Chains A and B, each alone.
Chain A
Amino acid sequence: MVTPVLDRPPAGAAPSPLRPKPKRDSPRDWRWSHRLAFAAAWGCGLALCAVAAAIVGYMGYRGLQYLDLGLLTSRPEASLKQDEAGGILDPVLGTLLLTVLGIGIATPLGVVSAVWLVEYGKPRALARAVESGIEVVAGTPDIVIAIFGLAIFQQSIFAPLSFTASGGGVFGRSFLAAGTMMSLIALPLIFGATREGLLAVGALTREASWALGKTRICTVREVLLPQVRPNIATGAALGMGRIVGDTAIVVVLLGATLQIEPQDGIPGIGLLRGTGSTLTSYVYGASPAGEGNAPQKAYAAAFVLLLIVLLLNAAVDAIARRSSRKAS
């Protein structure tokens, strides 16, 4: 026997207007301490956003005032008159080249050492030494890394990496030298991000692969690395930010010459052996707060620097997403 359900509206009908609104969880019902913490969380988040927006907004406002195509496409010249001092082409190219070099060296090193540490990690003592070594590098100030790098690259064994004076003295300053030491700045970030990613992959996934008759290294290549690709990208993006923003290594190890000055020889190699500058050293050189007297150019260069960082981050993100789209 079917009992009719009386107090339920037919399916699809609008709910009765007399029905009270469903109760929602509202901060008004919370304890005051929870409300305070909730407000503080919102407040901190909004304040950070406001600070970031203020910096970007101010730099955009000042930068766009002075930025034009001529500034971007002309090379800087040494001149006392501002309208003859040229643009920022060389620093922009120097920034891009140095970043690509630094990340290009740091990414394989960081990923491989993280894979070794998490997937093999034997002997334990060596693994601990590697881990704390990388922590030490992460904690070293960039000026120390720069001077240390100069001391290394001025050794005659590293002469092919830079310019050698007629007396046989090795200059020790070049894109290669600066890029190598820059990689040390990005390495701990890439290493840390990859390690966290690998640790987050469950033991089940590894065992599933081993149980299919795959070796450890095959599991790393085919299963684990594709899964941690977003982590590697995050580490690389953070590392890029550090490299792009670093000045000490540029000044000490890249020479901070106004123009990119390739060495003679094979064109590409000569460029890498040569000196140059980046936007950070340019901003320092042009800003009245630093050594120069061209605030307009400093603002424009700083804005371009910001754009480059954003673009590089977007590019890394796109690369990371490209092949992990299938996964989920």
Chain B
Amino acid sequence: MEDTRDLGPADPFLDRSVPSLAPPVRRLRPDRRPVPVPVKPEDDPLIPVRDAAAGPERMRVENLTIRYGGEAAVKDVSLSIHQGQVLALIGPSGCGKTTLLRTLNRLTETTTSATREGDVLLDGEEIEQISVTALRRRIAMVFQQPNPFPMSIFDNVAYAIRVQNAKRPGRREIEHQVVDALRRAGLHDELAGDLDRPALRLSGGQQQRLCIARAIATKPEVLLMDEPCSALDPKSSAIIEDLIAELRRELAVVIVTHNLAQAHRVADKVAFMYLGDLVEYGDVDQVFGAPRAQRTRDYVEGAFG
């Protein structure tokens, strides 16, 4: 296997020897080199400005390495996640996209052999310093398979809203929150007010939107989506994509997808990973239109994967 790291210098974001044009950022950890700042679209004449309305930075991943046992699944990845933007993680199977995603809400910790190096910050705070239950209410996740609990639709969303160890709120107290989450997930009108149906009787696309409703019910800052459309038909996928475009107004979205066309449609930023390395990270039009690394070009042109 060819070493892909030598491709790094081709990408100014990854090459730490290239001085950044951007203003210096506050050094978060004095004992570390500062994280390279991605070239701003307006500073780079090659990148067309697509969405200048990106919000504040929500999450920052610095030199992140994840190992399962001895083997690194994610190698020295750094990137940032902004509110109002959709970041798509693309790459062939087994390249560490899902591991990276699951690290953001500390789900990799549930795998005993997994170890982590580097930092992941949520609003400037290391995620390990936040209690895991609080963190996962702020960083919600939607999975590949729709996985509603075998309860009623109402109870599925209410389960997410109820705070651990707090007094159990009555149905009336949380009803408006449940309805609001279902409405934001675009599911409420289809249900015609019948929220007591078993969730498992919904169609696949509706179940996935219920999972999205459940995930956004706690008003998270970041929404992680692990191939949310891979088990759905094209029509349901299109509805979910519209929903993602809608949701990114209020939160940051990170989506793992194998579907390059989908990444092109929904994403503002794209990160291409290969064998655990972050090969390329940039605006969607730059990554798809003018990729800097040869491997990215091969992948987006469908040469391998």
- Residues of chain A having any CB pair with chain B under 8 Å: 202, 204-205, 207-215, 218, 222-223, 226-227, 324, 326-328
Q: Which of B129-162 contact A (CB under 8 A)?
A: 132-137, 140-141, 143, 145, 147-152, 155, 159-160
Contact of B107 among A211, A215, A223, A326 (CB under 8 A): A211
Q: A208-B148, A213-B134 are in contact. List 9 more A-B contacts (CB 8 A).
A: A205-B147, A207-B143, A212-B140, A212-B159, A212-B160, A212-B218, A214-B159, A326-B151, A328-B201
A227 touches B137 (CB 8 A): no
| Chain B proximity of A203: nearest CB distance (Å) | 9
A212 touches B143 (CB 8 A): no
Closest to A205 in B: B147
Closest to A208 in B: B147
B151 touches A327 (CB 8 A): yes
| Chain B proximity of A163: nearest CB distance (Å) | 46
B198 touches A213 (CB 8 A): no
Q: Which residues of A contact B160 (CB under 8 A)?
A: 212
B164 touches A213 (CB 8 A): yes
CA of A213 to CA of B133 in the docked complex: distance in angstroms? 4
B137 touches A213 (CB 8 A): yes
Closest to B214 in A: A212
Contact of A326 among B134, B135, B141, B196 (CB under 8 A): B196
B151 touches A212 (CB 8 A): no
Q: Which residues of B contact A204 (CB under 8 A)?
A: 143, 145, 147
B150 touches A227 (CB 8 A): yes
Q: With A326-B196, A327-B198, A328-B198 as given contacts, are A211 and B149 in contact (CB-CB < 8 Å)? A: no
CA of A106 to CA of B205 in the docked complex: distance in angstroms? 43
Q: Does B105 contact A (CB under 8 A)?
A: yes
| Chain B proximity of A213: nearest CB distance (Å) | 4
Closest to A217 in B: B164
4 residue pairs, one from A and one from B, having the closest CB atoms: A213-B136, A327-B150, A213-B137, A211-B141
CA of A215 to CA of B147 in the docked complex: distance in angstroms? 18
A215 touches B149 (CB 8 A): no
CA of A233 to CA of B217 in the docked complex: distance in angstroms? 34
| Chain A proximity of B165: nearest CB distance (Å) | 9
Q: Which residues of B contact A226 (CB under 8 A)?
A: 150-151
B150 touches A215 (CB 8 A): no
Q: Which residues of B contact A324 (CB under 8 A)?
A: 150
The interface on chain B, measured as residues whose beta carbon lies within 8 A of the other chain's beta carbons, has a size of 31
A208 touches B211 (CB 8 A): yes
27 residue pairs from A and B, CB less than 8 Å apart: A204-B147, A205-B147, A207-B147, A208-B143, A208-B147, A208-B211, A210-B110, A211-B107, A212-B136, A212-B214, A212-B215, A213-B133, A213-B134, A213-B135, A213-B137, A213-B164, A215-B133, A215-B164, A218-B164, A226-B150, A226-B151, A324-B150, A326-B152, A326-B155, A327-B198, A327-B200, A328-B150
CA of A227 to CA of B155 in the docked complex: distance in angstroms? 14
CA of A204 to CA of B107 in the docked complex: distance in angstroms? 12
B133 touches A223 (CB 8 A): no
Closest to A212 in B: B160
| Chain A proximity of B108: nearest CB distance (Å) | 11
CA of A327 to CA of B201 in the docked complex: distance in angstroms? 9
Contact of A222 among B140, B159, B196, B215 (CB under 8 A): B159
A208 touches B201 (CB 8 A): no
CA of A205 to CA of B214 in the docked complex: distance in angstroms? 13
| Chain A proximity of B177: nearest CB distance (Å) | 14
A211 touches B136 (CB 8 A): yes
B200 touches A213 (CB 8 A): no
Closest to B160 in A: A212
Q: Which residues of B contact A327 (CB under 8 A)?
A: 150-151, 198, 200
Q: Which residues of A contact B155 (CB under 8 A)?
A: 326
CA of A208 to CA of B218 in the docked complex: distance in angstroms? 14
CA of A324 to CA of B211 in the docked complex: distance in angstroms? 21
A210 touches B107 (CB 8 A): yes
A208 touches B149 (CB 8 A): yes
CA of A223 to CA of B136 in the docked complex: distance in angstroms? 17
A205 touches B149 (CB 8 A): yes
A209 touches B105 (CB 8 A): no
Closest to B134 in A: A213
Q: Which residues of B contact A326 (CB under 8 A)?
A: 151-152, 155, 196, 198
Q: Which residues of B contact A202 (CB under 8 A)?
A: 147
Closest to B137 in A: A213
Interface core residue of A202, A210, A324 (most chain B CB under 10 Å): A210
Q: Which of B206-235 contact A (CB under 8 A)?
A: 211, 214-215, 218
